[in-house]
Copies of this chain bind each other. A is one copy, B any other.
Amino acid sequence: MNVKKLVKEVSFRNENFSQWYTDVCLKSELIDYSDVKGFFIYLPYGYALWEMIQQFMNQELKKTNHQNVYFPLVFTENLFQKEQQHIEGFAPEAMTISKIGDKTLPEKLIIRPTSEVLFSQYYAKKIVSYRDLPKLFNQWCSVVRWEKTNKLFLRSKEFLWQEGHTVHATKEEALQESFDILNLYKKLGQELLAIPFVSGKKTEKEKFKGAEVTYSIEALMYDGQALQAGTSHYLGTKFSEAFEITFQDANLQKQFAHQTSWGISTRLIGALIMVHGDDEGLVMPPYIAPVQIVIVPLQMKNEQVVKKAHLLYQQLSTAYRVEIDLQNKNIGWKFSNHELKGIPLRIEIGKKELENGELTLFIRHNSTKIKLAEKDLLKEIPLLLKKIHQEMYQKASDHVKNNTYQAKTYDEFKQHLQKTGYIKMSVYENEAEEIIKKETGATARVILDEPLITEICPVTNKKANQTVLFARAY
Which residues in A have some Cβ–Cβ distance to B below 8 Å? 32, 34-36, 39-44, 47-48, 50-51, 67-76, 79, 91-102, 109, 111, 118, 121-122, 137, 141-142, 144, 146, 158, 160
For residue A32, which residue of chain B has the nearest CB? Answer: B122
10 inter-chain pairs at a CB distance below 8 angstroms, sorted by A residue, are A35-B76, A35-B79, A41-B118, A43-B69, A44-B67, A50-B70, A72-B158, A73-B144, A73-B158, A141-B142
Determine the distance from Cα of A40 to Cα of B39 in the docked complex, in whole angstroms.
25
- Is there contact, CB below 8 Å, between B97 and A34? no
- Is there contact, CB below 8 Å, between A44 and B137? yes
- Is there contact, CB below 8 Å, between B36 and A75? yes
Determine the distance from Cα of A40 to Cα of B72 in the docked complex, in whole angstroms.
6
For residue A125, which residue of chain B has the nearest CB? Answer: B32
Q: How far is the CB of A242 from chain B (nearest CB, A)?
A: 15
Q: How far is the CB of A28 from chain B (nearest CB, A)?
A: 14
For residue A48, which residue of chain B has the nearest CB? Answer: B68
Complex A-B, nearest 6 residue pairs according to Cβ-Cβ distance, in ascending order = A44-B67, A39-B72, A42-B70, A92-B101, A100-B146, A34-B72
Q: For residue A35, which residues in chain B have a CB less than 8 angstroms away from its CB?
A: 75-76, 79, 121
Q: How far is the CB of A82 from chain B (nearest CB, A)?
A: 11
- Is there contact, CB below 8 Å, between B97 and A96? yes
Q: For residue A94, which residues in chain B have a CB less than 8 angstroms away from its CB?
A: 100-101
Q: How far is the CB of A40 from chain B (nearest CB, A)?
A: 7
Q: How far is the CB of A333 from chain B (nearest CB, A)?
A: 14
With known contacts A98-B98, A122-B32, A70–B48 Cβ distance under 8 A: no
Q: For residue A99, which residues in chain B have a CB less than 8 angstroms away from its CB?
A: 95-96, 98
Q: For residue A122, which residues in chain B have a CB less than 8 angstroms away from its CB?
A: 32, 34, 41
Q: For residue A137, which residues in chain B have a CB less than 8 angstroms away from its CB?
A: 44
Q: For residue A111, which residues in chain B have a CB less than 8 angstroms away from its CB?
A: 73, 97, 111
Determine the distance from Cα of A70 to Cα of B159 in the docked complex, in whole angstroms.
10
Q: How far is the CB of A143 from chain B (nearest CB, A)?
A: 10
- Is there contact, CB below 8 Å, between A72 and B146? no
Q: How far is the CB of A118 from chain B (nearest CB, A)?
A: 7
- Is there contact, CB below 8 Å, between B69 and A44? yes
Which residue from B70, B76, B93 sits with its C-beta under 8 Å from A36? B76
Q: How far is the CB of A320 from chain B (nearest CB, A)?
A: 15
Determine the distance from Cα of A75 to Cα of B35 in the docked complex, in whole angstroms.
7
- Is there contact, CB below 8 Å, between B144 and A34? no
Which residue from B41, B76, B100 sits with its C-beta under 8 Å from A69? B41
Determine the distance from Cα of A281 to Cα of B277 in the docked complex, in whole angstroms.
54
Determine the distance from Cα of A48 to Cα of B66 in the docked complex, in whole angstroms.
12
With known contacts A98-B98, A100-B95, A73–B118 Cβ distance under 8 A: no
Determine the distance from Cα of A313 to Cα of B160 in the docked complex, in whole angstroms.
36
Determine the distance from Cα of A73 to Cα of B144 in the docked complex, in whole angstroms.
9
For residue A117, which residue of chain B has the nearest CB? Answer: B35
For residue A141, which residue of chain B has the nearest CB? Answer: B142
Determine the distance from Cα of A100 to Cα of B50 in the docked complex, in whole angstroms.
28
For residue A126, which residue of chain B has the nearest CB? Answer: B32
Q: For residue A74, which residues in chain B have a CB less than 8 angstroms away from its CB?
A: 36, 39, 158
- Is there contact, CB below 8 Å, between B97 and A70? no
Known: A36-B76, A42-B69, A44-B69. 8 other contacts (CB 8 A): A32-B122, A36-B109, A43-B69, A47-B70, A51-B68, A92-B102, A94-B101, A97-B97
Q: How far is the CB of A452 from chain B (nearest CB, A)?
A: 42
Which residue from B34, B68, B109 sits with its C-beta under 8 Å from A71? B34
- Is there contact, CB below 8 Å, between B93 and A100? yes
With known contacts A51-B68, A91-B101, A97-B95, A39–B121 Cβ distance under 8 A: no
Determine the distance from Cα of A50 to Cα of B140 in the docked complex, in whole angstroms.
13
Which residue from B73, B98, B146 sits with its C-beta under 8 Å from A142? B73
